[in-house]
Amino acid sequence: MLITKKDVDAIAKRRIEKLYDFALRTGDKRYIIQMERIALRMDITLPAGIKRGYCKKCKNPYRNQVVRIKKNLVTVRCPICGNIRRFQISR
């Protein structure tokens, strides 16, 4: 049996989702770091939902983060390190 890049990608994506789920449940940033490492090595872009679900700076999954909406901009503040990220709302 031949293992293609597609198969490997599917496995990697499943692992990423699982790791993200663990991270949310435990609030442990080790899962996020591991998840990022897999995505980097497998050359996979993390889904937007996951990308916005954790802090880029301290790698902690967001839990009761501060969210503000200004016009078409969403501001999310990390409760742990205070890093602020801004997302644009597309319509």
Number of residues that bind Zn ion (CB under 5 A): 7
- Give one DSSP letter per residue of 3-45, joined into a string: PPHHHHHHHHHHHHHHHHHHHHHH--HHHHHHHHHHHHHHT-P
Give me the residue label for tokens 């969210």: 67
Which listed residue (18, 33, 83, 84) binds Zn ion by CB under 5 A? 83
Residue closer to Zn ion, measured from CB, 16 or 55: 55
**Cβ contact 87:80 at 8 Å:** no
Contacts to Zn ion from residues 7-66, by CB under 5 A: 55, 57-58
Judged by CB under 5 A, the stretch of 6-14, 15-23, 37-45, 83-91 that binds Zn ion is 83-91
Query: Is residue 84 near Zn ion by the rule CB under 5 A?
Result: no
Q: Cα separation of 85 and 55, whole Å?
A: 8
Which residues here bind Zn ion, judged by CB under 5 A? 55, 57-58, 78, 80-81, 83
